[in-house]
Chain A
Amino acid sequence: MRSAVASVMGEAVLEARGLHCGYDGVEVVTDVNVALRRGEFLALIGPNGSGKTTLLRALAGRLSPASGQILLDGEPMHSRPRQKVARLLAVVPQISSPPFEFTVGEVVAMGRTPHLGRLQGERPEDRAAIERALALTHTERLRDRPVTELSGGEFQRVVIARALAQEAPLMLLDEPAAHLDIGHQVDIFDLLLRLNRDEGRSLLCVSHDLNLAARYCDRLVAMAEGRLAASGAPAEVLTEERISELYRCSVRVETGPGGRPRITPLSALAGVDAP
């Protein structure tokens, strides 16, 4: 059913063309062409150090291309004012510990920044967006807690709530479930799927969890050593050969619920995987 949705998916809303970028002259991403289509839920996978986060930062406009282009709705992103871009594109970066004791409510309210002028107060629609973001991420009861006192998983959900309050049609997420237990992982991916299906938001999500990516996403893009290694439906990308090549480990790939691939890692040690 989801593949039928994928086939009627719209034009590219965010696109990298011939993208090269990196840090201090060291190239991390090499000649990448990738497009997020309107209404798509795309996962970006690949081993540590393959350039996923760098590609995400480039797609978010944070990192300027050394060469090539980032197009947002078909126009070069760097020619647009930052505030306007932030109304279209929200990012959930990898979390780091906050230095100041803002409350959860205050941090989520900062998601409204791109919609407000410097001296403008919150309007009813701003407050509604904040309430909705808190409700969707089940963080209402944390509202008055300082973010410095939260667990990693709680803070992760607050960061997602802040991005939701931005009410942008595009969202880029870097490991949104990295600090969460399996229950909260499913919660977050169910939420993302709902945002994708019910509201038509286009999502790009960096993930180390291949099973979650396979379960929830329309399309997977794999990176290796800064280049695009594969792109396609989960079952096309997640073959035993490709995974062992990408991650240098043995896995078994079976068909799980919903016809999605299910990956089980195999130990290199004798006896562990014996029947």
Chain B
Amino acid sequence: MWVALVAPLIGSVMMSLSFGAASLAPSDVGLALLSRLPGLASLDPGLSGGEQTIVFDLRLPRLALALLVGASLSVAGVVMQAFFQNPMAAPSIIGISAGASLGATVAVVSGAGAGIGFAGLGAVPVAAFAGALLVTALVYVLSRRGGRTPVGVLLLTGIAMGSLMSALAALVLVMGQDPSRRDLDQVVYWMLGSVAGRTWTHVLVVLPYIGIAGVLTWIFGRDLNVLTLGDDTAWYLGLNVEQVRLILLALSSLLTAGAVAVSGVIGFVGLVVPHLMRIIAGPDHRALLPASALAGGTLLVLADVVARTIAAPTEIPVGIITSLIGAPFFLYLLHRRREYAM
């Protein structure tokens, strides 16, 4: 199983580094990568200075960020599905991503995130985290019915909450900008999601959030398994349910916020990937979480390759690609599963 996940990952990495406005031979890119490892300098295929810049300074950080964001959104989706005991939950579907983007845009517009460097960019993920946490908690409280979260109530609450958060985020962006140069590009970027033009700074800013939250989530794998059996059963099996729920709430919000802070709202990754991985890796979270992280990274890297090559030299926001794949998948799931009747 792991080979089936790692092989596509490597393939997508090579495609991501090779394809784009300037196409390079994947073999050259591969050799150039290897030549940077200690003791393998002799493999250097002799890329030009410009090509080196494209691969190592433009595409590699963008690739790293896409991997991180895809993995993060997928793991967040897995956690939310267990948290809500409902396989239709995902960050972008129930408004969590929109909440994070509201937090992030407030930070950007207020100037907290405008400064260059670590400290300035650091405010964006923190604000995104606050927004994600707030929305998750609100959706949870509003859609709980007698200890369960019915899928209809969850989805409708999440859609309404997501619309509200998106509208607020757009309002903040439009009103908050300098009137002389108001433009909607920023709005489009936050609403549709993109990893274009990302640098190593972006990667380093969110890596600690996503990395730590990801590892902690995996440690709670057994708890996630037990939680899917329902709150009462989880309690009877010795889980301090309310406490574990709070931790999971924080972790899934952190994962979503980390992704949104650097890439805007990229939809449906957290829904599509966990569903496919349940088929391949099974529902046990101790395997499902790492499998979803790998596959989520692969999916977003591939979507990003499509986003920047399909209409080259114009770049399409990658969120459009994931929604084009994810929305029909979501409809298919709703249609297929009888128990999702409202």
Contact = CB atoms under 8 A, between A and B. Distances in A.
B237 A166 contact: yes
B240 A102 contact: no
B238 A82 contact: yes
Contact of B228 (A61, A83, A98, A166): A98
A114 to B, nearest CB: 4
Interface in A45-87: 57, 60-62, 82-87
B145 to A, nearest CB: 13
Contact of B86 (A87, A99, A116): A99
A35 to B, nearest CB: 20
Contacts of B284: 102, 106
A114 B239 CA distance: 8
A236 interface: no
A111 B232 CA distance: 13
A62 B225 contact: no
A97 B151 CA distance: 14
A110 B142 CA distance: 30
Contacts of B223: 118
Contacts of A96: 230
A62 B238 contact: no
Interface string B203-217: 000000000000000
B130 interface: no
Contacts of B229: 98, 107, 110
B2 interface: no
Given A62-B235, A114-B237, A100 B228 contact: yes
A96 B232 CA distance: 11
A62 B236 contact: yes
A98 B226 CA distance: 11
A70 to B, nearest CB: 14
A11 interface: no
A114 B229 CA distance: 15
A125 B210 CA distance: 37
Interface in A90-117: 90-91, 93, 96-102, 106-107, 110-111, 113-114, 116
Interface residues of A, number: 32
A99 B219 CA distance: 22
B47 to A, nearest CB: 44
Nearest to B339: A97
Contacts of B339: 97, 99
Nearest to A87: B238
A110 B283 CA distance: 13
A100 to B, nearest CB: 4
B258 to A, nearest CB: 23
A86 B225 contact: no
A272 interface: no
B235 A118 contact: no
B283 A91 contact: no
A205 to B, nearest CB: 15
Nearest to B284: A106
A90 to B, nearest CB: 7
Nearest to B223: A118
Contact of B87 (A84, A89, A99, A116): A99
Contacts of B219: 118-119
B140 interface: no
A93 B222 CA distance: 20
Nearest to A148: B339
Given A118-B219, A118-B220, A166-B237, A110 B226 contact: yes
- Shortest 10 CB-CB distances between A and B: which pairs? A86-B238, A114-B238, A83-B238, A91-B236, A113-B237, A100-B283, A100-B228, A82-B240, A102-B283, A82-B238
25 contacts: A60-B235, A60-B236, A61-B235, A62-B235, A62-B236, A82-B238, A84-B238, A87-B238, A91-B232, A91-B236, A93-B230, A96-B230, A97-B339, A100-B87, A100-B228, A100-B283, A101-B282, A101-B283, A102-B225, A102-B284, A106-B225, A114-B237, A118-B220, A118-B223, A166-B237
